[in-house]
């Protein structure tokens, strides 16, 4: 993780470095710290389905369902538009658990 932190410090506008740091944080069960990096990625590239999915799931794990729902809905739209069937099914299930989608 230190490698990704160093890369982000050197290039804070690089969404790929920020995404990698977020993944590392989540891997260390520090998802709350990853949210800001995932939000940056989604803000930079709204069509980045994997960043949307990871942000939505991380928000859910942080107990922030109301914030997670629109993110997961956006991810579902991207999965459908980009023809990614497995993520589409996963997102539909997550949204059904939240009472929507």
Domain range list for the chain = 2-98
Q: What is the DSSP letter of 22?
A: H
Arch. (CATH architecture) of 2-98:
Alpha Horseshoe (1.25)
Give the pLDDT confidence of 8-52 residue by residue, as tens digits. Answer: 999 999 999 999 999 999 999 999 999 999 999 999 999 999 999
Q: What is the pTM of this model?
A: 0.93
Q: Of the candidates 22, 69, 67, which has an alpha carbon nearest to the alpha carbon of residue 44?
A: 22
Phi, psi of 91 (to 5 degrees): -65, -40
């Amino acid at each position: 993780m230190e490698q990704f932190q160093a890369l982000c410090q050197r290039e804070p506008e690089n969404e790929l470095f920020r995404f990698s740091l977020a993944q590392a944080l989540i891997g260390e069960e520090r998802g709350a710290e990853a949210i800001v990096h995932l939000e940056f990625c989604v803000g930079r590239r709204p069509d980045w389905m994997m960043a949307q999915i990871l942000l939505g799931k991380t928000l859910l794990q942080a107990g922030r369902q109301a914030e997670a729902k629109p993110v997961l809905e956006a991810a579902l739209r991207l999965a459908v538009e980009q023809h990614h069937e497995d993520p589409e099914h996963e997102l539909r299930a997550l949204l059904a658990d939240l009472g929507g989608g």
